[in-house]
Chain A
Amino acid sequence: MDAEALAGVVDRVINRYRRDPTCMLQILREIQEACDWVPPEAIDRMQAMLGVPRTKIEGVAGFYSFIYTEPRGKYRVLFSDNITDRMQGNRALMERLCSNLWVERGKVSEDGLVSVGKTACTGLCDQGPGMLVNNYAIAGLSLERIDEIAELIRNKVPLTDWPPAYFKIEDNIRRADVLLNADFKPGEALLAARARAPSDGLNASNTRSWREGLPSGIGGPGATLDEIKRSGLRGRGGAGFTTGLKWEACRNAQLKAGHQRIVVCNADEGEPGTFKDRVLLSKCPDLVFEGMTVAAYAIGATRGFVYLRGEYRYLLDHLNAVLANRRRENLLGKDICGLPGADFDIEIHVGAGAYVCGEESALIESLEGKRGTPRNRPPFPVTNGYLDQPTIVNNVETFAAAALIALKGGEWYAGIGTKQSAGTKILSVSGDCARPGIYEYPFGVSVRQVLEDCGATDTQAVQVSGPSGICVAENEFDRVIGFEDLPTAGAFTIFNKSRDMFEVARNYVHFFQHESCGFCTPCRVGTSLLKNLMDKLHYGSGSPYDFAEIEKLNQLLQAMSHCGLGHTACNPVLDTIAKFRPAYDKRMMQQDFTPAFNLDRELSAARQMTGRDDAAAHLATEHGGQS
């Protein structure tokens, strides 16, 4: 691309984002979509037009895996590398593509045409192995398809001309309940919320600081908030904070001059093994947007965001079309449903490959166009969130449930599920089973029941809620999904008895190491140390000493880390050590401390350069050799 064309692209993108530096990540992402990377000249121009220092732009660009400040090829292929993709054989596929295209993994081909690498879970576990090509998802890869893709790339066929079937992502809804079955007409929940009159008993209707925008004396917002509280709805993102309390705290937060309240939908579904938000957004986006609008009505917010993970980029155009339609129908915009002062609109920001942005304060930083580093708390987002304004951040599923509650009432919802866990939960079932996909259950369903329904046999373990969740062994299959027992953001990854639980944990540890934001010492360095220890065991140099080290690292990460990523990074290891000790014992080949350094393995670079792998090119060592 010549200088003039580049300048044209940059100007167009920046102007579309109103020259607003808080849209930096979106600007970088769109420049990259047009240029295949973010060239230094583009940064020059951003610097001039946005009036921000180069260090700031490069600092942001460098944080996100999907933003490239060096050329990565016209075709950028990233294989999803979740444990389920591995179980489905992604490694062989990646090697096949690399050898087809004559490119080394992680590098750009010599002609600058293509790069092949790997990325964290892309949310296609029920139809893997998956990949992203220039951030567009392709599922159900096979050797044949890989060969076809290599051919398309070699022939420089534009992505838009690739067979549409490649890009077909299935919903795979296997069990639907109140949410996925909802026969919902856009606008219904808003009309119901508006019609609600304040009730006695609960007192969310307190209007102490809530008098912006809407005509005074309106009871609907308070009454709607009461219904949310009555429903007992808790956050579906994993932490399970009571939604009504969060909304109320935001509603009661003082507004500074010029500030407004903000509603954020967290669609940064990055936990490996989770994909239910993808399905909710593709199957019932109206329900989600309506939930956000109900929230805005209840708390008095006027601006909304959806933070969509970069891996779901392909949903963007459809979602924007749904939003445009809602504007046309007066379900968004000014005077919603004809109610003067009921103003609210939603914009979608797309992430760029950073799991940590699922943490709400990191997500807000990212929305502000910064590096996705979790904030120091307090203060919390409900009082000081997006650009220091009162903000609620809720999961996609939480908003969908909130829309139904606004429509059907809190009592109705509280009657579903268990006492501590009201309502239903959508599970993303994947791994070793006959029918992977989406299962919606009332809370309280047992692990055993889910396994039965999805046709899992010979099950060894289930990872509930992904790597940061809990690994459940066979003798625990009667445990139930719910905040009182097994809280979950939705992942339900099944491993049969042929799987090596040590390798499962090692995959998860690699994931955390890659996704650590690098802000705090314990997590930045600790996750790397943990990865090195797991690799050491893998390579056969492990001894009981290393076990003790893992244990110590865990305590340190739990105690000292800045955010939940570091707190939970050791979970998969500790759980599997406790429950699948033999998998580790097999790896513990040494009685006494043995250095991780292995000379023969270090020579592999030399072997590769000389193209030799014969016996004489190896050192004879007791352990090692395998890599």
Chain B
Amino acid sequence: MSHTFTLDGKVVPFVDGQTIIQAASAAGVFIPHLCYHPEFKPHGSCKLCTVKVNGRHTASCTMRAAPGMVVESETEEINAERRALTQMLFVEGNHFCPSCEKSGNCQLQATAYHLGMMSAHYDHFFPNRAVDASHPDFLLDFNRCILCSLCVRASRDVDGKNVFALSGRGIKTHLIVNAKSGQLADTDFTLDDKAAQVCPVGVILKKRQGFAVPIGERKYDKAPISETAESTEGR
């Protein structure tokens, strides 16, 4: 059955079972998001996709659309809140865009640009996170992990491998890999794993591919994330 709701005044159609973000993206409307990916079960953790539904904040990637909902997304208030969340993600990890191989292809960076983030605002936490270079084909730079769990879901639900999981709690939450040694080399992770392709930031990097495309000519250098959202999702 097809129904509609309004998103910033615009009438958006949806079918039963669709979430707000699914309906919005089908209608060509971009809602910022980091942990959502159309191919996976929504997680609802980053909260970047938060909108107001009938005046109440809710994550649009987990909230099912309902007929007649009044949804606000591109408001000054909500974007300021999203900006603050993005800043939080920046200070929580160690993100040095100028020297990062993912720069220009990074969804976190692109989202920050989209939201007009000019500084990290909060004091940096400078966490101490070791890099895992054990695997012959991959480097894991945990400094950039935003705990979106996309790799967790891809490995579990698509690859059937459970290479990744979240452990720890609170601010000590961190990504672990499926090996007693804790090293990626001791897992069955391979180049054609779906999990190798989903990281929105620069944690899971293919070795020997550094700067194949020069900075300045990368995806979000060419067009802002709001205009490339479909291709982001198809990666």
Contacts and interface: CB of A to CB of B under 8 A. Distances in A.
Interface string A511-527: 00111111111101111
A561 B123 CA distance: 21
Contact of B44 (A55, A59, A65, A562): A562
A515 B176 contact: no
B170 A514 contact: yes
B50 interface: yes
Given A53-B162, A59-B165, A61-B167, A518 B47 contact: no
Interface residues of B, number: 38
B62 A518 contact: no
A154 interface: no
Contacts of B88: 521-522, 525-526, 529
A3 to B, nearest CB: 14
Interface string A32-66: 00000000100110000000011110110111110
A627 interface: no
A194 interface: no
A239 interface: no
Nearest to A41: B180
A562 B45 contact: yes
A559 interface: yes
A59 B47 contact: no
A619 interface: no
Given A524-B173, A526-B88, A62 B168 contact: yes
A55 B168 contact: no
A70 to B, nearest CB: 12
Interface residues of A, number: 43
Given A56-B162, A532-B123, A525 B171 contact: yes
A596 B173 contact: no
Interface in B117-172: 122-123, 125, 147, 162-172
Contacts of B31: none
B89 A525 contact: yes
Given A518-B147, A528-B125, A59 B171 contact: no
Interface string B172-211: 1100111110000000000000000000000000000000
B91 interface: yes
A54 B62 contact: no
Given A556-B81, A560-B50, A560-B81, A518 B173 contact: yes
B84 interface: yes
A376 interface: yes
A34 to B, nearest CB: 21
B60 to A, nearest CB: 12
Given A56-B165, A62-B169, A63-B169, A562 B47 contact: yes
B85 interface: yes
Interface in B16-63: 42, 44-48, 50, 57, 59, 62
B101 interface: no
A376 B44 contact: yes
A371 interface: yes
Interface in A433-468: none
Contacts of A55: 162-165, 167, 176-178
Interface string B85-98: 10011011000000
Contacts of A561: 47
Contacts of A65: 169
Contacts of B172: 518
A354 interface: yes
Contacts of B44: 376, 520, 562
A559 B91 contact: no
A562 B42 CA distance: 14
A560 B170 CA distance: 16
Contacts of B178: 53-55
B45 A521 contact: yes
Contact of B170 (A58, A518, A521): A518
B168 A63 contact: yes
A429 to B, nearest CB: 30
Contact of A59 (B57, B170, B176): B176
A525 B47 CA distance: 12
Instruction: Indicate the member of A376, A516, A532 with the most B CB atoms within 10 Å.
Output: A376
Nearest to B88: A525
Contacts of A43: 180
A271 B130 CA distance: 35
Nearest to B42: A376
A54 B180 contact: yes
Contacts of A522: 47, 85, 88
A56 B172 CA distance: 17
A516 B57 contact: no
A54 B81 contact: no
Nearest to A526: B88
Nearest to B61: A376
24 contacts: A55-B162, A55-B163, A55-B164, A58-B165, A59-B165, A59-B166, A62-B168, A62-B169, A65-B169, A354-B169, A376-B44, A513-B171, A515-B170, A518-B147, A520-B45, A521-B46, A521-B48, A525-B92, A528-B170, A532-B123, A552-B84, A559-B57, A560-B57, A595-B123
Given A55-B165, A56-B165, A524-B170, 9 more contacts: A43-B180, A44-B180, A55-B163, A61-B167, A376-B44, A516-B169, A518-B168, A562-B44, A596-B123
Interface of A: 40, 43-44, 53-56, 58-59, 61-65, 354, 371, 376, 513-522, 524-529, 532, 552, 556, 559-562, 595-597
